[in-house]
Structures are given as C-alpha cells and as structure tokens.
Amino acid sequence: MSSASPSAPQGSPSASSGSPSVQQDSAAAAPDRRWLILLVVAIAQLMVVLDSTIVNIALPSAQRELGFPNGDRQWIVTAYALAFGSLLLVGGRLGDMFSRKWVFITGLIGFACASAIGGAAGSFLILAAARALQGAFGAVLAPSALGTLVSTFRDPRERGRAFGVFGSVAAGGGAVGLILGGALTQYFSWRWCLYVNLVFAAIAVSGALAWIRTSRPGVRPRMDWPGAVLAGAGLFLIVFGFSRAESAGWTAALTLGCLVGGVVLLAAFVVAEQRSPHPLLPLRVILDRTRGGSYLAVFISGIAIFGTFLFLTYYLQVVKGERPLTTGLLFLPMIGCILLSSNLSSIVLLPRLGPRVLIATGMLFGAGGMAYLAQVSVTSSYASSVLPPLLILGLGFGMIFAPAINTATFGVARQDSGVASALVNTMQQVGGSIGVSALSTIALTATASYLVAHHTSPLAPAVAATHGYTLSFAISAGLLGVGFILTILLLPSKRRADELRRAASSTIPPAAAPAGSAPAGSAPAGSAPAGSAPAATAAAAEAADAAPPVAAGSASAPAGATSASAPATADGMPVGSLQHGFEAIPVALCSCSPVVSRAPGLAVGPARDM
C-alpha cells in the first residue's frame, strides 16, 4: 500500500496523480511508521488505564499524608471517573472536529500537567481538582488515540494485529497499575503514582510529533454544547448530593437540593437532545431494548467493580495491615479471572449461547461473589475469605464486560456507531462514580453508627470500618441481583439475536460490499460465526472499510462505483459519510476497568484487495 494514498479496491478507478489529497484522516501511514504509531497509541492507552488502579492502591497513603477525612476520600476516585465518563462523548466529537493528531497531543500534555499538579498537591482540594482535570483530558485523549489507530491501520489483517496489541495493553494495564502503584507507594511515595505519567506522556508526545500525520476533517461536525453542559452538571450534582449525605444527612436541604437538581438537569438534557439537530447523545441509541439492557448491565457492574477496588483496598491496607505492593499483588487473581472469562465469553461462548445467558450468568456470579465478600471480618484470612470471592467476581465481570460491549454496538446505525461504543465506557464510569459516592456514604454512616454502639472495644474502629465495607458489598450484591432480573427481561435470547443478525446482514448493500465478498445477506469470510450477535456489525464494518468516501478530495472510489456517484446504504446515507462513524466505533474501548474487548468487526478476516 502506498504511503501517499490508499490503493483503490478492485474494480474501481484509481485516483490520478493530480487528485487532491484526502482532507479527512489521512490514509494508512507508511508501513515503516504504522507500528511506531501503534507504540505511541499503546503508551497513551497504558497511561490512562494505569491511572485507574494505581491511584486506588496509593489512596490510603495519600489520605494519611494530606489528612483528609474518610468522607472525602471517595472524591479522589469519583472526580476522575465522573469527568472522564461525562466528557467522553465531548472528547470524541472534538477528535472529529479538529486535527486528531493535535487533539491527541493536547490530551497527552493536559493529562501530564494534571498529573504533575496532583503529585505536588498539598491539600485535598488540589488533589481532587487535579484528578478531575486528569479525567477531562483523559476523555479527550482516549477517543483521539483510538481514532488514530483505526485510521492508521486500514488492512483488516493488520488492524486485527494492532487491536490485539492494543487490547492486551489495555487489559494488562490494570494489573500493571496494581503492582506499579504498590511498588511506587511502598518504596518511594504515593506522589510518584501521579508523577510517573510525565514519563509516559513525554515518550508519547515525542512519538506523536515524529510519526503521526496532521489531518483535518473535510466536513467539521457541530458540538452540542448545551447537551454537554446539562449532562455534566446533572451528574455532578447527583454525585455531590450522595457525598454530602454522610455529613449533612439524607434529609438536609443541600443533599435533597443537589439530588433533585441533578435529576432535573438530566431531564432537561433528554429534552434538549430530542430537539437538537446535532445531539451529543441520540436517544434512539439507548432506547433500543437490546442496547439499553447492555448499558444497564455495564452501569451496574461499574458500581460493583469500583466499590470493590476502593473498599477492599482499605480493608487490606487499613484493617489487615498489608503493605501497598502486597495489596496490589493480592488483587491479581481477580484480574486474571477477568481476562480469562472475558476472552472465553466473547470468542467461544457468545456465538453459542447469546448475550442473555452470558450476561445474566455474570450477574449471578457477581452477586454471589459480593455476598461472599460481605462475610469478611477483622479476623478473616485472605485465602479463605477474600481470594474465593475475588475469583468468582473476576469470572462474573468477564462474562458481563465483553458480551455487553459487543451487544451494545450490535445493529446500531452507522452514523450512531461511535456514540453507541462510547456509551459503554460512559455508563461504566458514571455508574462507578455515582455508585462509589452513594456506597461510601452508606459505609461511613454504618461505621459511625457502629462506633456509637460499640465504642468501648479496643478493636472497635477496625470492626466498625469492616462493618461499613461489608454493608456496601451486600448492597452491591443486591444491585447485581437486580441486574440479573433486568438482563433476563431486556436482552435477547440466542434465537432472537440470530434473527436480528440476519435482518441486519440483509441490509448491507451489494455496492458497498468489498470486492470478492459474499452477497448481501450472508456473512463475509472471516466475520463472526453464525449465531454471533456482532456478526452483522462485523460485516458492516468490513463493508465500510472497503468503501472509502467519494467526496471531493478522496483518493479512490468504492468497489463497483464511479467517481461521479457514491453508493448509498440501506438507511439512505452515502457510503462516504460512514467513514467518521466507522473510525469512531472503538472510541470507548479504553476502559478504566481491568479489561478491554476489541470492538466487533475490527479484525474481520484477511484483506481481499490489498
């Protein structure tokens, strides 16, 4: 493939040497640069994923040094998650509006500066503000990083390998963060858990300046600023209301005012999105029953996994007296089970069982693991009381995350594919921030009540803290039980998923299919096996990839089309207009959970016309 322009598919006229250059993201980079660009993107991904687990391990040490109360500690987690989750759609849109290279570099520099501020923080307020700033720049960085990866690797075989590397970095990043955070905190200082991002950012910025090409969109999309402000403000008020309930009380005017105000702003956001000509979140995406069920599953599991990391970290370090590095190592069995279960679920079980069985089973495993964990006490041992529920939780979360991501992007209209994918990460982050805020308030209230009744015992503080943690675990178990019921009601069975797949496959127009592929209505070679929910998405993605846009300045025409006209999809959109949607599909794969699943259709089999 030439480094100057993409090669034309078979049967289509190639561009002449004098044709204008592509104004959208440049075609695949020269082969000698592609893997260097992958290295840059992987470093950026590692930095963002590391930050979720590395700070959790360092949090008890930071609290001791800065002296902030237990009621405020959850803000170090929720400030990041809330900013990241609520601004992710905005960050993805910015990558489509401006040069993705410079949006990527801006995200890197901003994330590094926020990390430096947090590392040098002398008070809780500065540390919490720095974490929120990290989340905001992370929301800018993540979509542009993945958009760069998709636009760099056009060959499906190379794209499959690239996303394999990217997914491995994302999946292993959580485990690396646990170990690195423990080592830095134990042997240096908790501040180095933030300063370490400066090293990653410096390497990634240098590589981006050297190897990533500047590109600008041919047509700049518009930003829905009113929707972004309403959503962000509404979510903040809800989280703030939950956090203030511990000190002010659930019936205090401030608590109720924030909670009610947050709900009102989110309702206004829904109204605004219905009327906006360019909505940040098209409501049709979440109103679909299948996708809505997947988002709900991710939301509930986000509450559980964020709470598990936070409360179990404090239990191991504060109650049991474990060192930071040891604490990180003790979480690794859970990470390993998530990786094993996620890959087994998405590759082997999802095509055979369908999303309903897998996600519902994952919810049951999660509820069982949380109920088991709710039995821990001050005298419990790790081997008998902590390790078994961690293994169960890892298997359960793996069965939820990967199938939910695949199902959430299944059958979505091409123009909504980026939003559908980004919402997976948004729901997890928002669920985690709201859940941790609410559960922290419940845990601290239970701890205070226990101390009032049992304050004479020398072990009362440790027992009271453990009582608060176990109550939060029990509530999480109940939420996952509710998630099991909702999953059964909302998600499709395997038979229904097969029917939806066949219906979606039949809408792929022959003109947009890659040369040499099977006719519309049949899965192309290399796509997901029959019965797999993402099969239609894979076929559509491959078709879109094989059909570059024919707008002014394009370098080649789609197979079977002339330069004078572009084929249209089943929904009437020109094939050329699909490129932005396709490149945005994996926008949210950089999850702060320990595992990331590849977006369906990105590695769809051997290239046919390269």
pLDDT of residue 269: 92
Residue 538 shares a structural domain with residue 492: yes
Q: In terms of C-beta distances under 8 Å and separation of at least 24 residues, what long-range contacts does 438-441 make, across chains too?
A: 438/242, 439/303, 439/307, 439/311, 439/472, 439/475, 439/476, 440/71, 440/73, 440/74, 440/242, 440/243, 440/246, 440/310, 440/472, 441/71, 441/242, 441/243, 441/245, 441/246
Q: Is residue 47 in some structural domain?
A: yes
Q: Is residue 169 in some structural domain?
A: yes
Q: What integer is the mean pLDDT of 360-376?
A: 94
Residue 290 shares a structural domain with residue 262: no
Question: What predicted TM-score, i.e. pTM, was given to this entire model?
Answer: 0.70
Q: Is residue 269 in some structural domain?
A: yes
Q: Among 98-102, 289-293, 591-595, whose mean pLDDT is lowest?
A: 591-595
Map residue 14 onto helix, strand or coil.
strand
DSSP annotation of 384 = I
Last residue of a domain, one of 200, 223, 246: 223
List Cα–Cα distances, 46 to 40, 171, 201, 521, in angstroms.
10, 9, 10, 39
Highest mean pLDDT of the ranges 9-18, 143-152, 175-184, 466-475: 466-475
End-to-end CA distance of the chain: 7
Residue count of the chain, please give it: 610
> Contact 437/74 with Cβ under 8 angstroms?
yes
Q: How sure is the predictor about 590, in pLDDT bands with cuts at 50, 70 and 90?
A: very low
> Contact 197/47 with Cβ under 8 angstroms?
yes
Residue 173 shares a structural domain with residue 309: no
pLDDT of residue 529: 34
- Whose tokens are 């608060």? That residue is 468
Domain of 261, in residue numbers: 224-279
Residue 134 shares a structural domain with residue 196: yes
Q: What integer is the mean pLDDT of 103-111?
A: 94
Show the tokens assigned to 374: 């709710």
Q: How sure is the predictor about 207, in pLDDT bands with cuts at 50, 70 and 90?
A: very high
Return the HEC string of 213-274: CCCCCCCCCCCCHHHHHHHHHHHHHHHHHHHHHHHHCCCCHHHHHHHHHHHHHHHHHHHHHH
d(CA 411, CA 502): 10
More confident site: 91 or 420:
91
Q: How sure is the predictor about 412, in pLDDT bands with cuts at 50, 70 and 90?
A: low
DSSP 3-state percent helix, strand, coil across the chain (nearest 5) = 70, 0, 30
Helix or strand run (H / E) with residue 483: helix 460-490
Residue 63 shares a structural domain with residue 200: yes
Map residue 517 onto helix, strand or coil.
coil
Last residue of a domain, one of 235, 259, 279: 279
Q: Is residue 441 in some structural domain?
A: yes
How high does pLDDT run on average in the chain?
A: 75
Residue 214 shares a structural domain with residue 265: no
Name the residue type at position 155: D
d(CA 334, CA 344): 15
Q: Is residue 519 in some structural domain?
A: no
Q: For 501, phi and psi rounded to 5 degrees?
A: -65, -45
d(CA 422, CA 546): 23
List Cα–Cα distances, 239 to 79, 428, 445, in angstroms.
9, 14, 17
Q: Is residue 216 in some structural domain?
A: yes
Nearby residues of 81 by Cβ (< 8 Å), 6 or more positions away: 135, 306, 429, 430, 432, 433, 436, 592
pLDDT of residue 112: 95
Question: Which CATH number fits the domain that encloses residue 362?
Answer: 1.20.1250.20
* pLDDT tens-digit map of 127-168: 999 999 999 999 888 888 877 877 787 776 776 677 767 766
Q: Tell me which residue of 474, 478, 527, 537 sits closest to 505, measured CA to CA.
A: 537
Number of structural domains the chain divides into: 3
Q: Rounded to 5 degrees, what angle do the CA atoms 451, 454, 455 make?
A: 65
Q: How sure is the predictor about 400, in pLDDT bands with cuts at 50, 70 and 90?
A: confident
Is a pLDDT exceeding 70 seen at residue 442? yes
DSSP annotation of 383 = I
Nearby residues of 531 by Cβ (< 8 Å), 6 or more positions away: 351, 352, 354, 494, 497, 498, 501
Q: Is residue 462 in some structural domain?
A: yes
> Contact 185/324 with Cβ under 8 angstroms?
yes
Residue 311 shares a structural domain with residue 430: yes
Return the HEC string of 306-360: HHHHHHHHHHHHHHCCCCHHHHHHHHHHHHHHHHHHHHHHHHHHHHHHCHHHHHH
Helix or strand run (H / E) with residue 583: helix 578-583
Is a pLDDT exceeding 60 seen at residue 21? no
Residue 102 shares a structural domain with residue 149: yes
pLDDT of residue 403: 82
Q: Count other Cβ atoms within 10 Å, centred on residue 384.
A: 9
pLDDT of residue 472: 92
Residue 171 shares a structural domain with residue 234: no
Map residue 471 onto helix, strand or coil.
helix
The Cα diameter of the chain in Å comes to 86
Is a pLDDT exceeding 60 seen at residue 539? no
d(CA 296, CA 154): 33
Quick one: CA dihedral 175, 180, 182, 185, positive or negative? negative
Q: What integer is the mean pLDDT of 456-462?
A: 81
Number of helical H runs and strand E runs in the chain: 19, 0
Q: What integer is the mean pLDDT of 303-326?
A: 88
Query: Could you tell me what percent of the chain has a pLDDT over 90?
Result: 26
Return the HEC string of 81-130: HHHHHHHHHHHHHHHHHCCHHHHHHHHHHHHHHHHHHHHCCCCHHHHHHH
Residue 113 shares a structural domain with residue 51: yes
Residue 293 shares a structural domain with residue 394: yes
Q: Is residue 100 in some structural domain?
A: yes
Residue 93 shares a structural domain with residue 200: yes
Reading phi first (left if > 0) and then psi (alpha if -120 to 50, else beta), residue 413 is in beta
What is the gyration radius of the CA atoms in the chain, in angstroms?
24
